A and B are shown apart, each in its own frame.
Chain A
Amino acid sequence: MKDTPLSNCERDFLLKAIEEKKRLDGRQTYDYRKMKITFGTDYGCCFVDLGKTRVMAQVSCELVTPKENRPNEGIMFFNIELSPMASPAFEQGRQSELSVKLNRQLERCLRNSKCIDTESLCVVSGEKVWQIRVDVHMLNHDGNLMDAASIAAITALCHFRRPDVGIQGDEVTVYSPEERDPIPLSIYHMPISVSFSFFQQGTYLLVDPCEREERVMDGLLMIAMNKHREICSIQSSGGIMLLKEQVMRCSKIASVKVSEITELLSKALENDKKARKEGGRCGFAESMPQERITALKMDETSVEMTDVTERAKDIVQKTEAPPQLVRSPVVPVPGVGQVGQGLQNTWGLEEEDEEETEECDNSDEEQEEKVTKMEEEEHEKEASREGDVVEISDSEEEDVVILHPETPDKTPKNTESRSHQKGAAASKKRQKK
């Protein structure tokens, strides 16, 4: 099914927020979302949560005949599956552009950088080698699939144990895990990809875009590095024009992020190893958080509070002093602004209308509602004086005789377009009821 398009308001809001260096979830521009790495019961199964993006990688191996031009090297095969489970925008079966892009990027990031020693996967040169297959499944798409996929893939590869093989002469025996402990793959380094998204023709840049931010971005730069500060792959996508300085800056940021992520990764692997050794419970089922329905508890979202006090002060300053409370028994017509009490209406034109409405409204009012009306009027006058508070009424009931003027903004439809004017004018329009 086709993705619902992003509304213009949302797009403008996101872009404006980015210009002010604010993100939807309160992160800083170079912050990653909360990352969680868990492992399944089998070796080689790994889940990565990057905020709400959830990705699963599974490594499996098989003995096959090697390629002709590389007889003593094992084969690595990568596959990323974008199923409709991750997002309704993904279609089952069709190889969409995004799927091709992600697949190729993962291949380049992991295969071309030679992070795995393929020669150690050779069993019998020219006849039997191990084919390592990494399948990455997207479980939930909330932006930045590439980073999550790369982390999941490399973690799964580090976690994976392949069966031990014994060679006696011509015979090759594959030992099952019970007979001999499976051996881990020999991994030279761990390439991790970091995605940078660019906005407004490259003026603003964000790390780890969430799904909304991805929709409004101009383009993406993916840098894959390892903790030794070696760049394994760079790929720019989307129709953006970059400058060399931007690329250099991104690579510096990427090196910092990659070292953080690699630490987290190693810690997760360590923990899992310990847990397995102690015979503790491990695996997918255990790693699922206990989200009971009775406990309606969510993580606190951080709210941007830095300039709240300033903005509040501004707003308070802009509002004028409330008018004096009128104690007279003559209740002014609801909707009449007290710009000056008892002054003549200087607008001239609507004098006749005004008198008519005054009379018909006055006849409806009751004395008891004076006080409540006053308060409401004051509120409404406050609001009207703001100038930037817009009262738009869709009500068509202009002909209804108003008994209780709690909702004094039953203005005729034609004033909606003019409701952007300042307080006096807005209140004047309301006289035309």
Chain B
Amino acid sequence: MVCGNMAGLELLSDQGYRLDGRKASELRKVQARMGVFAQADGSAYLEQGNTKALAVVYGPHEIRGSRSWIRHDRAVINCQYSMATFSTAERKRRPHGDRKSTEMSLHLKQTFEAAVMTQLYPRSQIDIYVKILQSDGGNYSVCVNAATLAVIDAGIPMRDYVCACSVGFVDETPLADLCYAEESGGVSSLALALLPRGGQIALLQMDARLHQDHLDALIEAAMTACKGVGKVLDEVVRLHLKEVSVLTGE
């Protein structure tokens, strides 16, 4: 059921243009800033097109509250994903605590447990909080990208950046970085979190029907898109590094 028509909207026109005028493999504009909060250990704000997310990292610090989570050999990563009530077209009743948010939080936790070198911090806890301020598709990817920047800002060692992107499959063409209209159009979408240098997949999630033969092409397109995002994040981090080192006069 791979259709390009949804209520008259063509997700991919004959000339190869999408709803917002992008080409099939073009990403949305990514803008990011690190160190937006002074009191958190690490923070970042990221915009990918119209989707805006804010990520804050606290830690590593002593485990507060329940002692049962203490792991003697590594740090525990605690993630919370929430959407602002004003982030979607209709006001969100439950910003967090519902199944979708819990699932997203679990996915974020899983992604960062793979990338952050937690063995260096036994018996401590790292908190990652992400909030979506405006939702226009690709929520998970934007969260992961924002959280990566926040973790780097906090000085927590990571193997590599974690870049994420969503791709969809329409008319035998993979579309990179889906927006909300494309996502809800019943398009098979795949969200991928990748560590660009090693090409390792930290999280792979796909919904809706896709024939097995197209899987390879789709994953390839996703990896290329993630690497593109990775380049942008890299630039942001390097610029921030230079700015701060100039200020500290080192």
Contacts and interface: CB of A to CB of B under 8 A. Distances in A.
A168 B103 CA distance: 45
A225 B207 CA distance: 11
A106 to B, nearest CB: 11
A229 B107 CA distance: 26
A244 B202 CA distance: 11
A371 interface: no
A236 B210 contact: no
Most chain A CB within 10 A, of B186, B205, B220, is at B205
Interface in B211-236: 211-213, 215-216, 219-220, 223
Number of contact residues on B: which range applies? 20 to 34
Contact of A234 (B186, B190, B202): B190
Contact of A230 (B100, B110, B211): B211
A231 B209 CA distance: 5
Given A113-B209, A230-B210, A231-B209, A242 B204 contact: yes
A239 B110 contact: yes
B119 interface: no
A248 B100 CA distance: 27
A247 B186 CA distance: 23
B106 A101 contact: yes
B200 A241 contact: yes
Contact of B209 (A104, A114, A241): A114
A232 B211 CA distance: 9
Contacts of A233: 206-207
Contact of A104 (B100, B195, B213): B100
B85 interface: no
Interface residues of A, number: 37
Contacts of B107: 237
Contacts of A251: 212, 215
Contacts, number: 96
A12 to B, nearest CB: 16
Given A231-B215, A237-B110, A238-B110, A247 B209 contact: no
A342 B201 CA distance: 69
A255 interface: yes
Q: Is the interface of A mostly helix, strand, loop or mixed?
A: mixed
B38 to A, nearest CB: 31
Contact of B200 (A230, A234, A237, A243): A243
B199 to A, nearest CB: 7
Interface string B96-110: 000110110011001
Given A229-B211, A241-B200, A104 B219 contact: no
A170 interface: no
A126 to B, nearest CB: 17
A226 B203 CA distance: 22
Contact of A101 (B103, B190, B201, B208): B103
Contacts of A244: 199, 201, 216, 219-220, 223
A104 B103 contact: yes
Contact of A247 (B106, B204, B211): B204
Contacts of A226: 209
B1 interface: yes
B201 A231 contact: no
Contacts of A104: 99-100, 103
A95 B97 CA distance: 10
Contacts of A189: 209
Contact of B205 (A114, A235, A255): A235
Contacts of B204: 221, 234-236, 242, 247
24 contacts: A97-B106, A100-B103, A104-B103, A108-B207, A114-B186, A114-B208, A114-B209, A189-B209, A221-B204, A229-B211, A230-B211, A230-B212, A231-B206, A231-B209, A231-B215, A234-B204, A236-B205, A240-B114, A242-B201, A242-B204, A243-B201, A244-B199, A251-B212, A251-B215
Interface of A: 95, 97, 100-101, 103-104, 108, 112-114, 189, 219, 221, 225-226, 228-244, 247-248, 251-252, 255
Interface of B: 1, 99-100, 102-103, 106-107, 110, 113-114, 186, 190, 195, 198-213, 215-216, 219-220, 223
Q: Nearest 7 A-B pairs (CB), nearest first?
A: A241-B200, A239-B113, A234-B206, A239-B114, A112-B207, A242-B201, A104-B103
